[in-house]
Structure 1
Amino acid sequence: MLGTIISAIVVGLIIGALARLVMPGNQGIGVIMTIVLGFLGSLIGSWLCYQFGYSNSNGGWKVIPFIVGIVVAVVLIAIYVRLTGGKKAGV
């Protein structure tokens, strides 16, 4: 259970960080929100892939859900920055 939670946080951080690298400019959001939006992007991206019939019949690393997760995270970060104005915490 604890390993699953730690894995979800690490994947969220990776997806969120890659999404922020893809986006132009400074988004002005913190690490915690990057993890949360990355995790949500990963979750929604994986769900969308499987809803459209994706199957990893060969096994191995699931690249398509990972890429779709990054795209969804970019959209979520853009929405978050638009709604909050990209204000940094504590400023």
Structure 2
Amino acid sequence: MHWLWVFIVGLVVGIIAKALTPGKEAMGFIITAILGIAGSFLSTYIGEKLGWWGETGLVHFLGSIGGAIVLLAIYHMLFRRNAST
């Protein structure tokens, strides 16, 4: 049940991370949701394994947002469109 909650929170986290990331973004809801879910899973796994936070809480939620922002930044570096074309 814990990982289902991480999945649901990941959807919300993706939207928040997209809103916090500066610049115009041409990606749709699906990519945003996938990156948010992946960021939430990654942050949850790493944070719990390193003992930074438990299964729930505000720090866990903020860590999920941070994980999603990191994945959004990586996505932008990998799939940046050339502005001159």
**TM-score normalized by the length of structure 2:** 0.77
Name 2:19's counterpart in structure 1. 21
Percent identity over paired residues: 32
Structure 1: where are the runs of 5+ without partners? none
Name 2:75's counterpart in structure 1. 80
Q: Is 1:27–1:86's contact at 8 Å kept on the other side of the alignment?
A: no
2:31 to 27, 33, 57: 33
Name 2:64's counterpart in structure 1. 69
Distance 1:25 1:14 in 2: 20
Task: Provide the aligned length of Structure 1 versus Structure 2.
Answer: 79
Two-structure CA RMSD over aligned residues (Å): 2.5
Distance 2:14 2:33 in 1: 6
1:48 to 46, 49, 52: 46
Structure 2: where are the runs of 5+ without partners? none
**How far is 1:86 from its partner?**
5.4
Q: Is 1:19–1:73's contact at 8 Å kept on the other side of the alignment?
A: yes
**TM-score normalized by the length of structure 1:** 0.72
Amino acid at match of 2:44: S
Q: Is 1:16–1:39's contact at 8 Å kept on the other side of the alignment?
A: yes
